[in-house]
Structure 1
């Protein structure tokens, strides 16, 4: 559109401005017409390719050439160059410089007509020259609108980048959650099954089939437990709501600890995230108790208060031989990560006093 308007003014000027020629006044008008056309067509140059100082010089010389053309031509639309250049001054320069240069354009063009500096068009009133600087206001408004659009686009781009970063963070968080769930199911279950199968393999050499059968039975039980845990994991990954107390009761009983759960306070259903976190922590603690303290009594306590929910899992020392083979070390890390995401705290360590002295305790406190 800018190119179209500029070319239209140049064409109209070529058809109306007189005299034009190659000698005397005609040569002066022709040269001034060419200079004005060049100054006007330069409006299409991108802003980043024209330094502000260069733009100031170019537009200042342009209004001088426009005023000179008004004074040199006997007739025509030479004043259009001044109008369009004044408008572009408001668009290209900052407000202070634009207003100053536009005022200079008005005074210069009005002075040429008022004092008849040059042959000029006698029918053009000096007020017309004074009005040549008015389009600067339109240019300033266009520049303000352009900046507002750029700011909006920049804000939209920033928001898009922030949304992409947030989405990436959410993906990484979800990956970490899935990794913890996979660890809880596979690492624990497969480690227990592997220990029982290794025990059965070692017992085959002794010929004690009763103990071999006992080991394979335990392995079979661990497979069933693994299937239950896999179901819990699927629920968690799908973010299905699980009843906390019922699920925790089923978990402790499936681990072989009947009537081990004690619930205090006013029972309520927390959010699915809190429920999943507490169940995973309980699962980790029960698995560690079975691995490191086989035969030891386990007590699970779930305490509800107005501000938080506390899960406490305590086991007594082992009463049977502990099968060699440690965990991966990811269990406690997973606990801390889960609780941190829920804004709570977790403490794990040995029991140093009381009837459970020598055992181990895990306590997680989660707001909600």
Structure 2
């Protein structure tokens, strides 16, 4: 006779009426309808009440009635949640139930009293660990078999009392159900742990992305606005001196910083877009907008890079071009993008200035910020003048990102 019990609800599950997580792809675990168990338990009790005899208020009938009530209570106790019944208490309760079921078989002269032993043995396998469950089920079989043997006598057909030895067999069904329940529970817990880890990782990614965006906005706005503000304050101070040439010079520097900041803001927004073009195309667009068309050289087999790598390399290129325009105006710029088997390397090289170099406030993140970006990607960055070779005397920034 199969023994069924619903899988206990996960203690961390949401309360009734809460969102069950269809948006996250979760699905409820199918459980056995508890009404089926109640119906089976009540069917055994009703069948026993109608068939077990004698049952009355005195003598043997009273003993049968008391044992019937005890057996019914032991069977109804199957519905108690596991977390409310300690293992030791469950062992005591089931042991007493086994003795009560065997005693009921012995004192009753007819009926379906053996059904209590069968159902209780199945629950023993479900409620207890395997070893104590097998021991207690074996005790149930021996007791029921011995009671039938003693009450029927040795001259009776052996099939009748050996039937009592089979009362412990349902314990195997209970053990199988318990194993399946634990497997389902383990799968639910593993899925919950994986979901919690995924949510934590997503939160970390969001915070990291917010930090990156904040750093980009700070690089573009904070430094630029500080430089513009300084030039405007200088112009205000010079107005009182009457030196209009210096006032115009400060105003022109502020105007140049505004144009440079707008350009950097456009590059930053471009780098932050989810539909950013592949790195070579993005670099080409950046160079064209800064007046260095056809300055890009791509070597190696081009491949699609992660968005984080593309965004950081674009910001490094942006800062390097800004520094070249500030410190080497008029100098030619060359950009090399190399795709190797184990790395991606970006080189920005500018020749010495051919125009007037204006000293002014910087607006980029500087070499420290570049190194921080490359370090986040596990790469290395070098910056400085080229000491030898055909490009000797040029200034070069090289960022190498491992594959």
Query: Where on the TM-score scale, by shorter chain, does this alignment land: which range?
Result: 0.7 to 0.9
Q: Does 1:249 align with 2:290?
A: no
Aligned to 1:207: 242
Within 2, Cα distance between the matches of 1:298 and 1:198? 34
Change (3 A) 1:138 1:40: same
Change (3 A) 1:100 1:268: closer
Q: Which SS does the other structure have where 1:310 is aligned?
A: strand
Aligned to 2:258: 223
Is contact 1:315–1:356 with CA below 8 Å preserved after alignment?
A: no
Measured after TM superposition, the shift of residue 70 of structure 1 is: 0.7
Measured after TM superposition, the shift of residue 115 of structure 1 is: 2.4
Is contact 1:252–1:261 with CA below 8 Å preserved after alignment?
A: no
CA deviations over 1:155-200 (Å, ceiling 9, x no partner): 1110110111111011012112211221232123223322332333
Aligned to 1:183: 218
Within 1, Cα distance between the matches of 2:220 and 2:332? 20
Measured after TM superposition, the shift of residue 45 of structure 1 is: 1.7
Q: Which SS does the other structure have where 1:241 is aligned?
A: coil
Is contact 1:278–1:311 with CA below 8 Å preserved after alignment?
A: no
Change (3 A) 1:363 1:53: same
Is contact 1:90–1:138 with CA below 8 Å preserved after alignment?
A: yes
Aligned to 2:194: 159
Aligned to 1:17: 52
Measured after TM superposition, the shift of residue 90 of structure 1 is: 0.6
Within 1, Cα distance between the matches of 2:121 and 2:214? 66
Q: 1:65 aligned to 100, 109, 113, which one? A: 100
| 1:280-291 equivalent positions in 2, closer than 5 A | 280-287=315-322
Q: Kindly report the root-mean-square deviation, in angstroms, between the aligned alpha carbons of the 2 structures.
A: 3.5
Q: 2:347 aligned to 311, 317, 326, which one? A: 311
Q: 1:116 aligned to 138, 147, 151, which one? A: 151
Measured after TM superposition, the shift of residue 26 of structure 1 is: 1.0
Moved more, 270-279 or 4-13: 270-279
Aligned to 1:102: 137
Measured after TM superposition, the shift of residue 72 of structure 1 is: 0.6
Q: Does 1:174 align with 2:212?
A: no
TM-score in terms of structure 1 length: 0.82
Is contact 1:70–1:79 with CA below 8 Å preserved after alignment?
A: yes
CA deviations over 1:299-346 (Å, ceiling 9, x no partner): 5543525242132456879976745x6779x64454234323433212
Measured after TM superposition, the shift of residue 40 of structure 1 is: 1.3
Q: Give ranges in structure 2 of 5+ residues lacking alignment.
A: 1-33
Is contact 1:17–1:77 with CA below 8 Å preserved after alignment?
A: yes
Measured after TM superposition, the shift of residue 252 of structure 1 is: 4.9
Within 1, Cα distance between the matches of 2:61 and 2:233? 110
Measured after TM superposition, the shift of residue 143 of structure 1 is: 0.6
Is contact 1:184–1:280 with CA below 8 Å preserved after alignment?
A: no
CA deviations over 1:82-131 (Å, ceiling 9, x no partner): 0110010110111122122112211211221122179xx99992132122
Aligned to 1:302: 336
Change (3 A) 1:195 1:316: farther
Is contact 1:335–1:346 with CA below 8 Å preserved after alignment?
A: yes
Is contact 2:302–2:339 with CA below 8 Å preserved after alignment?
A: no
Measured after TM superposition, the shift of residue 273 of structure 1 is: 4.1
TM-score in terms of structure 2 length: 0.76
Aligned to 2:163: 128
Aligned to 1:30: 65
Aligned to 1:140: 175
Is contact 1:110–1:129 with CA below 8 Å preserved after alignment?
A: yes
Moved more, 338-347 or 87-96: 338-347
Is contact 2:124–2:174 with CA below 8 Å preserved after alignment?
A: yes
Q: 2:127 aligned to 80, 92, 95, which one? A: 92
Within 2, Cα distance between the matches of 1:102 and 1:365? 70
Is contact 2:335–2:348 with CA below 8 Å preserved after alignment?
A: yes
Q: Which SS does the other structure have where 1:22 is aligned?
A: coil
Change (3 A) 1:268 1:197: farther
Within 1, Cα distance between the matches of 2:260 and 2:356? 22
Moved more, 22-31 or 5-14: 5-14
Q: Which SS does the other structure have where 1:125 is aligned?
A: helix
Moved more, 189-198 or 170-179: 189-198
